[in-house]
Amino acid sequence: MKLKGEFGFSPPLIPLVYQLLGENVEALANVQLLLSICSWMFLAYTVARSLRNFYLKPLVYFLILGLSLSHIISIWNKTILSESFTLSIFVCLTGVWFLFVQNHSYKKAVAIMIISIMFVLVRNANAYVLLMLCGVLLISSTVSRLSAHRRYYLAIAAMCFILLPISNAVSDTKNQWTGYFLNVLSTRILPDETLRTYFKNHGMPLTETLMSRSGKWSHEDNFAYYNDPELGQFREWLYAHGKSTYVRFLITHPVYLFVRPLHDLHDMFFSSRLIYYAPKGYVQTKLGKLFDYASAWGLYPVYIFLTGILVGLNLLWACSKKSPVSWVPLIMILLVYPMAVLVWHGDSHEIDRHILPVVVQARLGFVLLLLFALDAVCKKRD
């Protein structure tokens, strides 16, 4: 496992852990499993600690730990990819945010910063997640009691703004971002006459050789995008103007930006292909299967309806300062679709795997909204 791969420099955390373990794959898999168990237990503890109704605490452990056993999470525990570390660190970060919102202190703020840095060191794109998260937190701090502790949020936000250009600098090493963009170019831009005309009008050399790449991934045909001499002029445009042209296109076409990902909603949030990433010998628990059934595509309209109600209730309590911790799941849910849009436009290859953290965030956010709503209702009755 190397720090530099075919598409530039990889985030260093997993390769570093791998080297510290003597390049033992089985040991790395065991570390991933242990980290997953500890992070989900920690989150369940922090959420239970946040609830005021004692009788809801067992339900917290059942729902959160049960969710962790669903196949979209458990298959990664021993799969050597970045998903396991990403999910575990995200869950741990969420738990620390619960502790921080309940009782602000510089120690918890520092803990959030450290875990956030680790989050980016696992996957470069996580810097955008932190940027959106902290942006919304800064806004929410102006309308709730969090404003009294604005200095902490400003410090965390500043750290995230620093992480973003660093992450971009790493991904801008000659090949990494181009691999993702070329997948989008091949599968979405070249097959669409309107889109490819836009890029042609903005300097992209549209040749027969380039059109022959339509529908093919960036790595196919021995990385022809990078090696074919007839695509030399295209590569010059790609490195000089490819990213800026794509970003400009998205900004100037907001309908395409926000509506087009909805066409792939099923593949993004309810994909059945993730199970193929499961390691050999993977066996799912019965409780995990139960949570999979509860997350079926057929129940999607029900969850949308319930989520709307739960968001409204939690927003009411959060703004009235009766339940400030409700801001955490509220922000998680409110950021789901913006993050999904970011992932969808970032790459078209293995999109169900790339969007996995967003899917987990959506399901976890729903569970948390439900728990805090039940807690508020029980308190009102008391």
Question: Residue 146 has what pLDDT?
Answer: 54
Tokens of 149: 């502790």
The whole-angstrom separation of Cα 338 and Cα 330 is 14
Cβ-Cβ contacts under 8 Å for 207 (sequence gap 6 or more) = 230, 231, 233, 234
Tokens of 27: 């040991």
The model's pTM is: 0.90
Residue 69 DSSP label: T
Instruction: Specify whether the CB–CB gap between 81 and 125 falls below 8 A.
Output: no
Tokens of 203: 């300097």
Tell me phi and psi for residue 55, to 5 degrees.
-75, -15
The residue assigned the tokens 């993050």 is: 339
Question: Residue 241 has what pLDDT?
Answer: 93
Question: Residue 358 has what pLDDT?
Answer: 94
Question: Residue 288 has what pLDDT?
Answer: 86
The whole-angstrom separation of Cα 269 and Cα 297 is 9
- Indicate the helix (H) or strand (E) that contains 325: none
The whole-angstrom separation of Cα 317 and Cα 241 is 48
Cβ-Cβ contacts under 8 Å for 210 (sequence gap 6 or more) = 190, 231, 234
For the chain, how far is it from start to end, CA to CA, in angstroms? 56
Q: Over its length of 382 residues, how does the chain's per-residue pLDDT go in tens digits?
A: 454 444 444 677 888 888 888 888 889 889 999 999 999 999 999 999 999 888 999 999 999 999 999 999 999 988 888 888 999 999 999 999 999 988 888 899 999 999 999 998 888 888 888 888 777 766 766 655 555 677 888 788 788 878 877 777 666 554 678 889 999 999 999 999 999 999 999 999 999 999 999 999 998 999 999 999 999 999 999 999 999 999 999 999 999 999 999 999 888 898 888 888 888 888 888 888 888 888 888 888 898 999 999 999 888 887 777 777 888 899 899 999 999 999 999 999 989 899 999 999 999 999 999 999 999 888 766 5
Question: Residue 186 has what pLDDT?
Answer: 96
Tokens of 94: 């969420």
